Structure 1
Amino acid sequence: MNKTNLNPMKQLPSKEERHKLFGSVEPGPRTKPVEKNKMADLQNSKKDFLFDIDVVGISNVKHPIRIHSSLKPEIQTTIGTFRFSSSIKKGSKGTNMSRFTEQLDKYHNEGFAIDLYTLKAFTKELAERLKQEDAYVEVTFPWFFERKGPFSQLTGLNHANATLKVNYDIHTGYDIEVALQGTITTLCPCSKEISEYSAHNQRGQVTMSVKLTDDFNEQEVDWKAALLEAAESNASARIHPVLKRPDEKAVTEQAYENPRFVEDIVRLVAADLYEMPFVQSFYVACRNEESIHLHDAIAELHYDKTSE
């Protein structure tokens, strides 16, 4: 039996010598204090620093969270992307950035469920921890929901991007907004009208941002499901993770029977949001990824029910 001849292993310098080879040097003299109470605290310097700052904080903080849903799966773990901030007066040089993540870790250890009740408590406590008069928390996360094929009833999971924004001010209280971006199917009314047969369709992204009324009760209404239904029920057809041939036939025929421009989508979704009693004001946008153009089609509108 032939034996494979192996080359002898190269003799490498020690790991310490390798580090020195690539630039590591010996530690220098240590002259500054290591005890926290003896260290300089530049962020807490008090002088006239010229201007108040509206927003200072941290963003793009990813962290596991738990959410509840009225649609299956009713309890799910997902990843939240956070933004934390507060304002500071011109008499303070800066904020203590570590306190944002300290607050996040505290709530994580207690089991961080993302709901309005918890986020309101989180934001108020954050302002107190920062020793500021206000604080702001925003979290965006993928929310999953079960969807059945219209004919086969075979299930799969779709997802939408949900956002919660809570602003707390010691003088004015809470200001709360929620947002959802969902995906729909749209079929072009013009294409259907002028063509002998068929019509082009596209995937649409519907974005809704809603300011909630002060008396909104999350125990009674799942705002995620309500906004999703506003988008999907006004589309040409819904998006499905699992479609057998009878399902596909049903979905494509439904789209053909319900043609929609982007203008139609934002107006129809706006009408649903207008009728929701817990909605104070709203923003709706639709972006269609056109299948026969290189560009996208867009439409958007704002409406404030309190201005009527």
Structure 2
Amino acid sequence: MDKIKTFPKKQLPNKAQRHKLFGSVEPGPKTKPSEKSKMADLQNTRKDFLFDLDAVGIANVKHPISVKSNLIPATQTSIGTFQFSSSIEKASKGTNMSRFTEQLTLYHETGFTADIKTLKEFTKELADRLKQKDAKLTVSFPWFFERRGPQSGLAGMNHADASITVSYDQLKGYNVTASLSALITTLCPCSKEISEYSAHNQRGNVSMEIKLTDDFDEEKADWKESLLEAAESNASARIHPVLKRPDEKMVTEQAYENPRFVEDMVRLVAADLYEMPFAEKFKVTCRNEESIHMHDAIASVTYDKTNDNTL
């Protein structure tokens, strides 16, 4: 039988003594009120503070959310990164920061689904809670979707970075924008043209932002799926989490058959967004992490369909 090892025991001061050793002191006399009703409220001071503020609030607030999707998994839990704000007039010194997170906690208690209907309700109620005429919310989150190998059918999880911004104004109503960034493969047309064989390819990041029309209905269309398809269907090839050799053959041959510059990518994606009835305005950017150059290649296009007189 193995002997139990013993170690020499060091005699330490108790925890209170250790805290004192490292600088802790006894509490001093308390003279200020501890009841909220008797405390000074500097943020609600009313004076002429020189300027109206466009936005004041909190950012980088991480919180669990539920996300609905037309793709598998249809319902998923993700982590939302929030930013909340409202404008304030120059007669107000500041805002009540705690009210932003109070509102978030209330929604969490009943299950916070990050869909546009819920976010609209949240933003209007936030303006009321803040006693302001407007409020704005942005939530960014990773959105997961199943992707199968084109030949093997083996499944894995891909993800794209999604974001929704909702602005509410008592007079102007709502303004909603949605964004998605997706990874794709692009194969260089120039390399294919000038080389005796082969062509270099790279991983591209396509970012799309659209202003949604006022009548957009999430029950009829999933904007995340639509933007993902716009990026991936126009690429040289899609990105896959699981590829066996027959899959890899198909993907690399597809990329060779569909060469794309960044300029090609943003124009092709823009054409798809132009045809989406719920996209009122849009911006598309593409960044290619070049495989044989030290630099990245970039391109972008912005278009407003409400001023459409060019096509």
TM-score (structure 1 length as normaliser): 0.98
In the TM superposition, residue 113 of structure 1 has moved relative to its aligned partner by 0.5
- Residue of structure 2 equivalent to 1:268: 268
Q: Amino acid of the residue matched to residue 306 of structure 1?
A: T
Within 5 A, what are the aligned runs for 1:189-268? 189-268=189-268
Identity across the alignment (%): 72
Q: Deviations over 1:209-235 (max 9, x none)?
A: 000111111110000000000000000
- Residue of structure 1 equivalent to 2:177: 177
Secondary structure of the 2:271 match is helix
- CA distance in 1 between partners of 2:215 and 2:4 (Å): 79
- CA distance in 1 between partners of 2:59 and 2:207 (Å): 21
Q: Deviations over 1:50-98 (max 9, x none)?
A: 0000010000000000010000000000100000000000000000000
- Residue of structure 2 equivalent to 1:118: 118
- Residue of structure 2 equivalent to 1:153: 153
- Residue of structure 2 equivalent to 1:53: 53
In the TM superposition, residue 301 of structure 1 has moved relative to its aligned partner by 1.1
- Number of equivalenced pairs: 308
- CA distance in 1 between partners of 2:267 and 2:277 (Å): 18
- Residue of structure 2 equivalent to 1:296: 296
Within 5 A, what are the aligned runs for 1:87-106? 87-106=87-106
- CA distance in 2 between partners of 1:36 and 1:2 (Å): 62
In the alignment, does 2:15 pair up with 1:10?
no
**Unaligned regions of 5+ residues in structure 2, if any?**
none
- CA distance in 2 between partners of 1:2 and 1:54 (Å): 72
Q: Deviations over 1:238-268 (max 9, x none)?
A: 0001100000000000000000000000000
Secondary structure of the 1:119 match is helix
Secondary structure of the 2:235 match is coil
- CA distance in 2 between partners of 1:200 and 1:30 (Å): 71
- CA distance in 2 between partners of 1:4 and 1:114 (Å): 56
In the TM superposition, residue 291 of structure 1 has moved relative to its aligned partner by 0.5
Within 5 A, what are the aligned runs for 1:121-132? 121-132=121-132
In the alignment, does 2:44 pair up with 1:40?
no
- Pick closer, same or farther for the CA change 1:5–1:240 going to 2, 3 Å: closer
Q: Amino acid of the residue matched to residue 297 of structure 1?
A: A
In the TM superposition, residue 8 of structure 1 has moved relative to its aligned partner by 2.6
- Pick closer, same or farther for the CA change 1:113–1:7 going to 2, 3 Å: closer
In the TM superposition, residue 6 of structure 1 has moved relative to its aligned partner by 4.5
Secondary structure of the 1:158 match is strand
In the alignment, does 2:23 pair up with 1:23?
yes
Q: Amino acid of the residue matched to residue 78 of structure 1?
A: S
- CA distance in 2 between partners of 1:204 and 1:5 (Å): 58
Q: Amino acid of the residue matched to residue 13 of structure 1?
A: P
In the alignment, does 2:72 pair up with 1:72?
yes
Structure 1 outlier segments of 4+, above 4 Å: 1-7
In the TM superposition, residue 128 of structure 1 has moved relative to its aligned partner by 0.2
**How large is the Cα RMSD of the aligned pairs?**
1.1
- CA distance in 2 between partners of 1:306 and 1:160 (Å): 28
